[in-house]
Structure 1
């Protein structure tokens, strides 16, 4: 099962790798061969090809998208089986391929997930998450971070400070998505802002939005434990969805992060006339639509977010490096690779005590 490691095509390469002698070291990976079927694969440590790096994974987060891959509920155009999942990860550069700066050796790092072509019109304008060169993403169509090692193009790396907490840095992928939402929402000091949902995306959004010094930063969340955590993340107030409905039309900016059946529509109702709404949740089929009459009369500005462009990654990494973003308190469970089955079962099970779940190779 060579796809468990190696370059983007799943094959080991013969590039001139710079790094320690890995000898007969074994590299393990979780391979989801088809929905609901996985196995722990042992193989040789992959070699980075030209322009690539080999990363030793320190931690990898599991999110609902990974659960969708495992259950077979992700759109067929956005996953290739068999696959090593894991698009949220952090690690250390263990080797570099030909043409890659040797100074990257030993650097703590995260990396963008989208394998953008960097040549199409969208990429050249900086919108790498809208690449028209074809969809390819680490952990979905390319081997991901549920492994001891992975290889990827060096140009996707975002190196971290030497003292970075790699456990917390595994959450920089969702933080980059949130950064894209915050940039799209353009928060201004003194505004009234609502965040719908207090999962990982919502709590990270609260941290980034608090830096804009809003007059109000209200989190809408049905679970009491998550509401309490939102207050610890600098929300100024919390409420249930029923309580929030009493403030429809009050907020300058609404950032939706829940991806529930009703939250796209309800988020638009929360916004004032002329307000801004950013949708970041991944909605299920049959989710409630946005009322076009309300939309036209309210003159709302609505943006949706899928993944993160390079600029959002830079924003999130800088905020993390400067201490403005602290994902560590969101982590509630950690498992070795051998505990994948138990770990994936926790994600999306509805337990309010389950926050971010990590695999620690």
Structure 2
């Protein structure tokens, strides 16, 4: 079968012919129907040989949708032909965090398809356990695949700070790309907050407005002054940084108000420099990693109701390497999805 694999540290991914996997006991074989691309893949492929933590070669793709093709011995609860997406946080299942349903925070080390195990950028993929499958019914798999990360990650980040997003509040979304454009939609559905989106370029700002942002601003230092002017000097109640570089971390702290929250989501390798004298008093700064399977179930229900919709650009499997190039160059409007 065809698969897009990362084969050597420092090299671009390759389209290769590999053996079709066979499910072992407890495993499920999926015929892949869609696989979303993510900047996290780029981050991992930018690691040096000393930093790179996963086996090679590795099939990429941690936003899978597929149809159940074959069941390993002992698998129950799913049938051949079921249309599913895959919860990507594969924890040990027994530590305190996994017992709480937070496999994304597994204490023994969470792995994922495409990030430690062979992923979905192929014609077929193996899923380790039926608990990681989420039925999607008649949802379009191209739209549903990225619910597993592009929607789940901002959904968890927003749920953490919902008590602050009350009437009269303001929320800033830095970066209206793959995750940010979904965050704007979720903020509009879940809260009465005023949504201010920050990004670079007229096209991206227009996209953010189309997704529901009340106000759009260039993601530059002076945006913080504009936000404070529009909030009577208070600053934003919550700021979500979906980029994660030093410049956006600094901008997030400049935008947030006293007692507000900054949630760092983007994996750009930067930081938010916090000290008593440089951050607003009593501001809370936190990170947020992916989400829980229960929250993915909630998102599937929301998608069925039309409350969240991921904007996608599709590529055939043969063009996956070009899709990564387009992602790197900022050409993707929403989420790139590979369709085998």
TM-score, normalised with respect to structure 1: 0.84
Q: Distance in 1 between matches of 2:238 and 2:263?
A: 8
The equivalent of 2:119 in structure 1 is 144
Among 334, 340, 345, the alignment partner of 2:320 is: 340
Q: Does 1:216 align with 2:200?
A: no
Among 210, 220, 223, the alignment partner of 1:232 is: 210
Larger mean Cα displacement after TM superposition, 220-229 or 141-150: 220-229
Q: How does 1:187-206 map to 2 (within 5 A)?
A: 188-190=165-167, 191-206=169-184
The alpha-carbon deviation at position 176 of structure 1 amounts to: 0.7
The equivalent of 2:231 in structure 1 is none
Q: Does 1:324 align with 2:307?
A: yes
Q: Distance in 1 between matches of 2:161 and 2:201?
A: 25
| 8 Å contact kept, 1:193–1:214 | no
| 8 Å contact kept, 2:15–2:321 | no
| 8 Å contact kept, 1:52–1:97 | yes
Q: Mind listing any 5+ residue stretches in structure 2 that lack a counterpart?
A: 229-233
Larger mean Cα displacement after TM superposition, 300-309 or 75-84: 75-84
The alpha-carbon deviation at position 125 of structure 1 amounts to: 2.3
Among 231, 244, 269, the alignment partner of 1:259 is: 244
Q: Deviations over 1:113-168 (max 9, x none)?
A: 1210110112122322111122322102100011001111211111112x201111
Q: Does 1:302 align with 2:285?
A: yes
The equivalent of 1:275 in structure 2 is 260
Q: Deviations over 1:233-268 (max 9, x none)?
A: 111111123452112442112121122321122212
| 8 Å contact kept, 2:3–2:122 | yes
Among 157, 175, 184, the alignment partner of 2:133 is: 157
Q: Deviations over 1:57-92 (max 9, x none)?
A: 111111212223444459835432210010012111
Q: 1:215 to 1:137 in 2, by over 3 A?
A: closer
Q: Mind listing any 5+ residue stretches in structure 1 that lack a counterpart?
A: 1-26
| 8 Å contact kept, 1:89–1:145 | yes
| 8 Å contact kept, 2:104–2:110 | no
Q: Distance in 2 between matches of 1:49 and 1:239?
A: 52
The alpha-carbon deviation at position 307 of structure 1 amounts to: 2.3
The alpha-carbon deviation at position 46 of structure 1 amounts to: 2.1
The alpha-carbon deviation at position 43 of structure 1 amounts to: 4.3
| 8 Å contact kept, 2:101–2:293 | yes
Q: 1:290 to 1:75 in 2, by over 3 A?
A: farther
Q: How does 1:1-361 map to 2 (within 5 A)?
A: 27-35=1-9, 36=11, 38-72=13-47, 76=51, 78-101=53-76, 103-152=78-127, 153-161=129-137, 163-172=138-147, 173-186=149-162, 188-190=165-167, 191-242=169-220, 243-246=222-225, 247-248=227-228, 249-284=234-269, 287=271, 289-295=273-279, 298-327=281-310, 330-332=311-313, 334-351=314-331, 354-361=333-340
Q: 1:308 to 1:78 in 2, by over 3 A?
A: farther
Q: Distance in 2 between matches of 1:319 and 1:302?
A: 28
Q: Distance in 2 between matches of 1:103 and 1:137?
A: 20
| 8 Å contact kept, 2:165–2:238 | no
| 8 Å contact kept, 1:78–1:140 | no
| 8 Å contact kept, 1:50–1:99 | yes
Larger mean Cα displacement after TM superposition, 140-149 or 103-112: 103-112
Q: Distance in 2 between matches of 1:263 and 1:129?
A: 25
